[in-house]
Structure 1
Amino acid sequence: MKKFLKITLRIVLGIIAFVALYLLSAWGISKITVDAEPGESNDVTMYILTNGVHTDIVVPVKTDQIDWSRELKFENTTGKDTVASYVGMGWGDKGFYLNTPTWADLKFSTAFKAAFALSTSAMHVTYHKELQESSSCKKISISKAQYARLIAYITQSFKTDSAGHFINIKTNANYGTTDAFYEAHRKYNLFYTCNTWANNALKVCGQKACLWTPADSPIFDKY
């Protein structure tokens, strides 16, 4: 019995130490800023948008560089409304997206699988008619060259079928009438979260970002 208690205590202390180290690292490393590239033109307006937990990268639906609606079809939303100027995209755990409409619906199994990369991922896509800057919505201007890098980063996050098209997830778990889900690459885990994906997107297109962060607030602190 004593041996069992010692082992149990060591496991508990190990878990506590891991959580403490993780939180301390997340806090400290997210404070380190990756500076924006200097001297670039302001050709494309994009946004970062948070719901308080998760960060979306929001870009124009159509420019001379790409028309996102060709792959992210309006007909895949329940509203099928084609009047939108911007499209927000966020990467995340598929279980969270499809099985957790509210925090009250969060199951331990869903959180555990997400934390330890035991489930698949998805892209959540939302169309916006307009956006207004606020503490949760920040406007950023980037050059065409920077946008080209961002386009490549985002498109590479989507899984494609044999014909090279994004794979729409047929589900009734939509958050509203203007959103849809798509299959995605990679697996969510404690060190690569939805906000890590968004933060990396900012780094790819040469904008201010955290060195690393699993959370949304450190990103918005930079803006």
Structure 2
Amino acid sequence: MKRWLRRVAFTLLGIMALAALYVAVACALMFWPANAKAPPAPELEAWVLSNGVHTDLVFPIHSAAIDWRQIFPLAHFEAVPPDAEFIAIGWGDREFYLNTPTWADLTASRAFGAMLGGNRALLHVTYLRRAQLRRGAYRLPLSEAQYKQLAAYVRATLPSGRAVPIAGAHYGKDDAFYEAEGGYHLFETCNTWTGRALRHAGVSASRWTPFDFNVTWHLQPASP
């Protein structure tokens, strides 16, 4: 019995040590950012939107670079607000996304299942009013060229570059889910997808971003 308890104790200590190392590495890398240079003068409105756990990229619906309505048609949504100005795009675990519309729906098994991996990913796309960016928004200092790089990164996440909607999958009337490349796991989270997008576009960002604060650390909070 004592030997069994000792094994359990060592296993738990090992798990705690690995979890602490995971967080420590994520925090340490924030102080060694990629693209550590002065940002350009912003040429358009764009943000990272965080709910404290998950991050989305937020872009104007239409600009000279791209019209997102051509990629994610309004017909895929139940009712996009007529005054929507922006589109939020996030990447995440399929099972978690589809079965956790609110934090009240979160279960331990679902959270551990996402961390362990094995599920395909989805894109979650929402058309937003400006007022929906009053909390958790961080301004992206993007040039037009950087914005085009971010748009290309998002499109590359779509299988064969096509937006394939998940039929009947919505949180509300202004959002939809799409098939996406990749799979979610402990080292490839929704926030690593966002952080990689920023690095790809030349925005200053931590070299590894498993948590939302890793993504937003080098950005300035802003109220549109």
Band the TM-score falls in, shorter-chain normalisation: 0.7 to 0.9
| Alpha carbons of structure 1 residues 103 and 133: separation in structure 2 relative to 1, 3 Å | closer
| Contact map agreement 2:122 2:180 (CA 8 A) in 1 | yes
Instruction: Classify the secondary structure of the residue corresponding to 2:177.
Output: strand
- Consecutive unaligned residues of structure 1, counting only runs of 5 or more, are none
Moved more, 91-100 or 32-41: 32-41
Aligned to 2:93: 93
Aligned to 2:102: 102
| 1:104-161 deviation digits (Å, cap 9, x = unpaired) | 222333222210212111100011232576561122242222122111111111224x
| Alpha carbons of structure 1 residues 191 and 18: separation in structure 2 relative to 1, 3 Å | same
- Structure 2 residue 59 is matched with structure 1 residue 62: no
| Contact map agreement 1:133 1:139 (CA 8 A) in 2 | no
| Contact map agreement 2:141 2:203 (CA 8 A) in 1 | no
Instruction: Classify the secondary structure of the residue corresponding to 2:140.
Output: strand
- Structure 2 residue 167 is matched with structure 1 residue 170: yes
| Contact map agreement 2:191 2:212 (CA 8 A) in 1 | yes
How far 1:181 moved relative to its partner? Answer: 0.5
| 1:65-106 deviation digits (Å, cap 9, x = unpaired) | 222111201121121445432111000111111101222222
Take 1:159 and 1:75, find their aligned partners in 2: how far apart are those partners? 20
1:1-223 mapped onto 2 (5 Å cutoff): 1=1, 3-35=3-35, 38=38, 40=40, 42-81=42-81, 83-130=83-130, 134=134, 136-160=136-160, 165-172=162-169, 174-222=170-218, 223=220
TM-score normalised by the chain length of structure 2: 0.86
| Amino acid in structure 2 at the alignment position of 1:209 | A
Q: Give the % identical residues.
A: 37
TM-score normalised by the chain length of structure 1: 0.86
- Consecutive unaligned residues of structure 2, counting only runs of 5 or more, are none
How far 1:51 moved relative to its partner? Answer: 1.5
Return the structure number with greater helix share: 2
| Alpha carbons of structure 1 residues 31 and 45: separation in structure 2 relative to 1, 3 Å | same
| 1:20-65 deviation digits (Å, cap 9, x = unpaired) | 2112222222343334555745333211111121111011212222
Moved more, 29-38 or 41-50: 29-38
| Alpha carbons of structure 1 residues 132 and 80: separation in structure 2 relative to 1, 3 Å | closer
Take 1:142 and 1:120, find their aligned partners in 2: how far apart are those partners? 30
| 1:153-212 deviation digits (Å, cap 9, x = unpaired) | 11111224xxx521101134x222211100111111111111111111111111121121
Take 2:36 and 2:27, find their aligned partners in 1: how far apart are those partners? 21
